Amino acid sequence: GIEFIDSFFFNKVEDIRFNSTVGRYVGYTEHGVKNAEAWNSDAGILGQEQGELERFCKHNADLHYSAILDKT
């Protein structure tokens, strides 16, 4: 399977992360936890992140996989 992770950093510290396997945001700092709660309750924001898995990851994985197969 493919996993999409979108991390947000503040002052070089990971603040919050979206993980497609979990399907929601996880906060790692006090600020990140507050944002995770807000963003997880917003279906539009969650849908946008989940769409990235389809739009970007799966599309590019197919291209790379085809390229690898062509070379074998």
CATH of the domain at 43: 3.10.320.10
pLDDT band at 72 (very low <50, low <70, confident <90, very high): low
Q: Is the pLDDT of residue 8 over 90?
A: yes
Tally of domains within the chain: 1
Give me the domain span that covers residue 20.
Answer: 5-69
- Does the global pTM surpass 0.85? no
How high is the pLDDT of residue 67? 73
The length of the chain, given as a count of residues: 72
Give the N- to C-terminal CA distance of the chain in Å, as an integer.
22
pLDDT digits (tens, 9 = 90+) for 9-54: 999 999 999 998 899 999 999 999 999 999 999 999 999 988 887 7
Q: Where are the alpha helices (DSSP H) in the chain?
A: 30-40, 43-52, 59-71
Tokens of 51: 């769409």
Maximum distance among all alpha carbons in the chain? Answer: 49
| CB neighbour burial string for 3-30, b if at least 16 within 10 angstroms, e if fewer | ebeeebeeeeeebbbbebeeeebebbee
